Structure 1
Amino acid sequence: MPSSIILTGATTGIGRATALALAGRAGHLILHGLEPESQVTDLLGAVRAALPPGGSLSYFAADFSALVEAERLVSDVRGVTDRVDLLVNNAARPGPPTRTVADTGVEVTFQTNYLAPVVLTSGLLDLMTAGRIVNVASATHLSSSLHLDDLTLARHGYTPSSAYAHSKLALVTYTCWLAAHRPSPTVDVVSVHPGIIATRLLHAMFAVGGEPPEHAAATIEYVASLHGDNGTYYDERQPAPPNPEATDPATQDRLHAVTVDLLAY
């Protein structure tokens, strides 16, 4: 049966390259981006050309800095499919130059990179009876620590890179929690550091070079093709230990509880 694939953050950088890489294996490819459809017609045309015979493409715009738009994306996806075989949570933003709070009162990096993927994933879980959830993380999460009493960084020191690393640690921790609470033993939940990739996101925070986005896309496509690895964190293509906080069940449960409270806005 052809695969139904969802990819977020599909219009730039790693996501754009991944959209093109995944198109050939998709029966129905559902892409998300920040831009309205009229601004990404070139990408959508290239993706359509790469689809297999009979394949279809849907595109939805949503700004994850507003959780109501992540909720709307859930409705949009459910309107075009009743099955999800692969969900790739790739959408992310760098930390802004100064701490910025979204309309929910949550620090915007944490909301975009962590809370929005949780909203989307939770809203689609019942459509997954088999398949994979791949959360695109970052090796920067290894240097962070979860501030469970201050997840929106109101009291801890703020820098763009520390906010980004903090949000990615939350995403890896959520991956480990969800792996232990998955809806079916035939659904695997994993996270992956796709490499140091030369994108606008990277260069907004770090003065370093990197591999081209196609390198990350090939890594994500490879990890997406695996199975039987529930809960694994990948450093590119190799299983690796994540931040120890992410694998601690008590920390996972505390993050889950705080997340539920934050989403009751």
Structure 2
Amino acid sequence: MRDLGVPSSIVLTGATTGIGRATALALAGKAGHLILHGLEPQSQVTDLLAEVRAALPAGATLSYFAADFSELVAAERLVSHVRGVTERVDLLVNNAARPGAPTRTVTDTGYELTFQTNYLAPVVLTSGLLDLIGTGRIVNVASATHLSASLHLDDLTLARHGYSPSAAYAHSKLALVTYSCWLASHRPSPAIDVVSVHPGVIATDLLHAMFAVGGDPPEHAAANLEYVASLRGDNGTYYDERSPAQPNPEATDPATQDQLHAATVDLLAY
């Protein structure tokens, strides 16, 4: 296990609520430059930013950018914002996500909202920052729900398949795990590690929007993400909390990975 060290440049999405908020506080002590993303404008998260700033090492920098991933152009703008404040990313944690919408909802680019927010936006962000992650690490926050899903390569935005909030969420997370496996095999440098992780069943608004279950506190997930973020030499691994585990077999199938990648390229050529 490595120490992320200082100064490390860390990008964390979905950092203002739930797992992301707890993870921002957990990673703050390891950051030389902590770059946080959230849905809310900065004026609405001043208390969080003050708490994070107090946890930073002396001399460290905090940046915050708001972006609503229901608009893909917002993810593109976030790439520009991040590139404007750092020339290096040591750790990218793609945590931002939304529960499945109550009914199938289509974005202005014509894609199912959950799939766009939880999958397409992280792909846009990761692709846009990849050249800055020369020797760094990408951690994609997945969900064990992906194990029960099937990837609809002929209908990625769920126009023809039966829709439910939980199924849309699981489908988007399966796409993210599959992408993680694809990128692990196509990383531009062997010095980059790409992993995905189920952080646990966590009591958040996202969980309770879809499932009538309890869960561990967000700090439990944050500790798991902090641990996985500290590892190296595990490129392509899927973690169930802190333990390497087998993901959905579709995610590890090279043909499925390539088909998803090709379809994603087409979708992002809007």
TM category, shorter: over 0.9
Separation in structure 2 between the aligned mates of residue 183 and residue 51 of structure 1, nearest angstrom: 31
Q: Which amino acid aligns with 1:191?
A: S
- Give the aligned partner of residue 42 of structure 2: 37
Q: Which residue of 2 aligns with 1:19?
A: 24
Q: CA deviation at 1:128?
A: 1.1
Q: How does 1:30-179 map to 2 (within 5 A)?
A: 30-179=35-184
Show structure 1 runs of 4+ deviating over 2 A.
Answer: none
Residue 10 of structure 1 corresponds to 15
1:225 to 227, 230, 237: 230
Aligned residues of 1:85 and 1:130 also touching (Cα < 8 A): yes
In structure 2, C-alpha distance between the alignment counterparts of 1:148 and 1:96, rounded to whole Å = 20
Q: How many residues align?
A: 265
Structure-1-length-normalised TM-score: 1.00
Q: After superposition, where does 1:189-228 map in structure 2 within 5 Å?
A: 189-228=194-233
Give the secondary-structure state (helix, strand or coil) at the position aligned to 2:212. coil
Q: CA deviation at 1:131?
A: 1.4
What letter is aligned with 2:122? P
In the TM superposition, residue 259 of structure 1 has moved relative to its aligned partner by 0.2
Identity among equivalent positions (%) equals 86
1:178 & 1:26 partners in 2: Cα distance? 25
Q: Tell me if the contact between 1:98 and 1:160 (Cα under 8 Å) persists in the aligned partners.
A: yes
Partner of 1:239, secondary structure, is strand
TM-score (norm 2): 0.98
Structure-1 residue corresponding to 2:245? 240
Q: Is the 8 A contact 1:128 1:183 kept in 2?
A: no
CA contact (8 A) 1:87 1:132 kept: yes
Q: For residue 207 of structure 1, give the secondary structure of its aligned residue in structure 2.
A: coil
Task: State how far apart, in whole Å, the 2-side matches of 1:260 and 1:64 are.
Answer: 18
- Runs of at least 5 residues in structure 2 that lack an aligned partner in the other structure: 1-5
List runs of 5+ in structure 1 lacking aligned partners.
Answer: none
Return the offset for 1:183: 1.6
Q: Cα deviation per residue 1:66-96 (whole Å; 9 max; x = unaligned)? A: 0000000000000000000000000000001
Tell me, yes or no, if the aligned pair for 1:30 and 1:57 is still in contact at 8 Å: yes
Query: What are the Cα deviations for residues 152-172 of structure 1, in whole angstroms up to 9, with x where unaligned?
Result: 000000000000000000000
Aligned mates of 1:21, 1:52 — CA distance in 2 = 12
Distance 1:93 1:52 in 2: 31
1:180 match:
185
